[in-house]
């Protein structure tokens, strides 16, 4: 298993290009199941999660062509050959559940394995299922699989989501595009990835209004067509790399970055004493001399502070001049990076959903272990600021969501390398 070796203490300066969003691409690819014409996605990120989604779609009979070195994906099938998404593929990645709504909407039946839990929490899919039932689907849970059917097709409905869910909003939205009549989705997720999905569905001929607000209205249509759509910039990759100059006292321009994608996060960085400026090419982040100021953070659905940046923010606050509180409200078990940061000299106490972080002047390099995608990159950020060497093991988590992380950081002066090891 590969690991990443970071020698800390270098000030980062330069430019980092931001890739297309993993989480947007993972919902745009299944949208191709809604039509018999190909969907072309440009600005796709080159990540192992995207390859997992390609394999899943191929198992259903889709052709997935990866062009321009993986930057462009052409996905489609004239007819879905297999309506069963197998456990072996689904268990690798929760986003696999997003094939359910589109297959059901297009052909009136689908069988999809339940994804199960994951390291950061139980993460059920009940909201996806209730939403599809409200659209007229009959669902049965058997042998770990959801068996879904809608013999007379789906029909529009008013659905009031009991809690905000990104994935459930996406699944229900996609299904509603081909349902008969109007669907009103209340308490919908407002994440930029939802807005991007709606833009793509609209290019495919869907009639949707209200994306980015809590109420989305979908007017069902008889069929959708192929389209070409550029994947939105990855706001989590953007936020992560905004922290690189913040934690090392550097100055980096994030090419393709947009403040509106990370507004709540950028506000907190500024409160911590970091400068964030919009430029013609993106966002420029710098930190003058002096310690980071402590700030309190509470994760929340968009436009709140994203849970996917909580681990990385904790790395920054571990070096602040004072005590910060980080409250995790989306996932129940998302502090696995805390004990690893403590190995690097951080002072962190976790009680329930709140981490109390008392900053230290200097973190110290140590061997640490990545436990999930965002946790692993928080350890790399900490390593950039730490004295000495940090070796992050189990970086396969990282490869699920960050493209060429060593290259992007070393181009700005970081001392970072991948140690390849035989499996
Ligand atoms: C997506 C993102 C993930 C991010 C998360 C929250 C993708 C591929 N993943 O995950 O990176 O961390 O949004 O911003 O886009 N819940 C239920 N029942 C459901 C669905 C969700 O109880 O049917 C709960 C979850 O356990 C969690 C909360 O709702 O506590 C939010 O989850 P959700 O927004 O659905 O996250 P994902 O779409 O899985």
200 part of the active site: no
Confidence of residue 95 (pLDDT cuts 50, 70, 90): very high
Q: Residue 304 C-alpha to ligand 1 middle, in angstroms?
A: 14
Confidence of residue 118 (pLDDT cuts 50, 70, 90): low
> Is residue 119 scored above 80 in pLDDT?
no
Confidence of residue 124 (pLDDT cuts 50, 70, 90): confident
Which atom, in ligand 1's list, is nearest to the CA of 170?
A: 38
Give me the pLDDT at residue 397, please: 86
Active site residue: 62, 118, 200, 412, which one? 118
Mean pLDDT of 379-392: 97
Nearest residue (CA) to ligand 1, atom 24: 123
Give me the pLDDT at residue 332, please: 80
Give me the pLDDT at residue 117, please: 55
Q: Residue 126 C-alpha to ligand 1 middle, in angstroms?
A: 11
Q: Residue 399 C-alpha to ligand 1 middle, in angstroms?
A: 20
Which atom, in ligand 1's list, is nearest to the CA of 123?
A: 26
3-state secondary structure the chain: CCEEEEECCCCCEEEEECCECHHHHHHHHHHHHHCCCCEEEECCCCCHHHHHHHHHHHHCCCEEEEEHHHCEEEEECCCCCCCEECHHHHCCCHHHHHHHHHHHHHHCEEEEECCCCECCECCCCHHHHHHHHHCCCEEEEECCEEEEECCCCCECCEEECCCCCHHHHHHHHHHHCCCECEEEEECCCCCHHHHHHHHHHHHCCCEEECCCCCEEEEECCCCCCCEEEECCECHHHHHHHHHHHHHHCCEEEEECCCHHHCHHHHHHHHHCCCEEEECCCEEEEECCCCCECCCCEEECCCCCECHHHHHHHHHHHCCECCEEEEECCCCCCCCCHHHHHHHCCCEEEEECCEEEEECCCCCECCEEECCCHHHHHHHHHHHHHCECEEEEECCHHHHHHCCCHHHHHHCCCCEEEEECCCC
Q: Residue 235 C-alpha to ligand 1 middle, in angstroms?
A: 16
Q: Residue 53 C-alpha to ligand 1 middle, in angstroms?
A: 17
Give me the pLDDT at residue 396, please: 86
Confidence of residue 136 (pLDDT cuts 50, 70, 90): very high
Give me the pLDDT at residue 122, please: 59
Q: Give residue-wise pLDDT tens across range 332-344.
A: 889 999 999 999 9
Nearest residue (CA) to ligand 1, atom 32: 165
Which atom, in ligand 1's list, is nearest to the CA of 306?
A: 14
Q: Give residue-wise pLDDT tens across range 256-291.
A: 999 999 999 999 999 999 999 999 999 999 998 789
Mean pLDDT of 70-96: 95
> Is residue 422 scored above 80 in pLDDT?
no
Over pLDDT 90: what percentage of the chain?
91
Mean pLDDT of 168-183: 98
Report the predicted TM-score, pTM, of the whole model to 2 decimal places: 0.97
Give me the pLDDT at residue 290, please: 85
Give me the pLDDT at residue 197, please: 98
Ligand 1: lining residues by beta carbon, under 6 Å: 23, 26, 94-95, 121, 123-128, 163, 165-168, 193, 307-308, 330-331
């Amino acid at each position: 298993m590969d690991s990443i070796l970071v020698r800390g203490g270098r000030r980062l300066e330069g430019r980092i290009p931001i890739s297309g969003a993993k989480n947007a691409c993972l919902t745009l690819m299944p949208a191709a199941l809604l039509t018999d014409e190909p969907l072309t996605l440009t600005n796709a990120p080159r990540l192992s999660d995207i390859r997992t989604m390609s394999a899943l779609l191929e198992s259903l009979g889709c052709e997935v062509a990866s062009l321009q070195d993986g930057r462009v994906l052409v996905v489609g099938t004239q007819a879905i050959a297999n309506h069963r998404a197998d456990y072996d593929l689904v268990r690798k990645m929760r986003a696999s559940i997003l094939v359910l709504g589109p297959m059901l909407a297009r052909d009136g039946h689908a069988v999809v394995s339940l994804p199960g839990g994951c390291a950061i929490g139980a993460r059920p899919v009940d909201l996806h299922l209730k939403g599809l039932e409200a659209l007229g689907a009959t669902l049965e849970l058997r042998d770990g699989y959801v068996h879904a059917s809608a013999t007379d097709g789906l029909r529009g409905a008013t659905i009031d989501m009991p809690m905000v869910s990104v994935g459930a909003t996406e699944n229900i939205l996609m299904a509603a595009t081909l349902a008969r009549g109007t669907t009103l989705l209340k308490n919908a997720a407002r994440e930029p990835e939802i807005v991007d999905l709606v833009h793509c569905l609209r290019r495919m001929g869907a009639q949707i209004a209200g994306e980015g607000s809590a109420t989305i209205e979908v007017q069902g249509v008889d069929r959708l067509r192929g389209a070409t759509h550029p994947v939105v910039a990855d706001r989590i990759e953007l936020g992560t790399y905004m922290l690189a100059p913040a934690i090392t006292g550097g100055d980096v321009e994030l090419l393709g970055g947009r403040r509106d994608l990370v507004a709540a996060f950028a506000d907190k960085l500024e409160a911590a004493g970091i400068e964030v400026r919009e430029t013609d090419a993106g966002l420029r982040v710098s930190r003058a001399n002096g310690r980071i100021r402590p700030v309190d953070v509470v994760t929340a659905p968009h436009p709140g502070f994203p849970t996917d940046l909580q681990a990385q923010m904790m790395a920054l606050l571990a070096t602040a001049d004072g005590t910060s509180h980080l409250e995790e409200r989306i996932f129940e078990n998302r502090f696995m990076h805390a004990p690893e940061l403590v190995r690097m000299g951080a002072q962190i106490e976790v009680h329930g959903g709140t981490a109390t972080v008392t900053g230290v002047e200097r973190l110290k390099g140590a061997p640490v272990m990545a436990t999930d995608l965002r946790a692993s990159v928080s350890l790399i950020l900490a390593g950039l600021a730490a004295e000495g060497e940090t070796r992050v093991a189990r970086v396969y988590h990282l490869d699920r969501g960050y493209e060429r992380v060593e290259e992007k950081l070393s181009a700005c002066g970081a001392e970072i390398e991948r140690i390849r090891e035989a499996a």
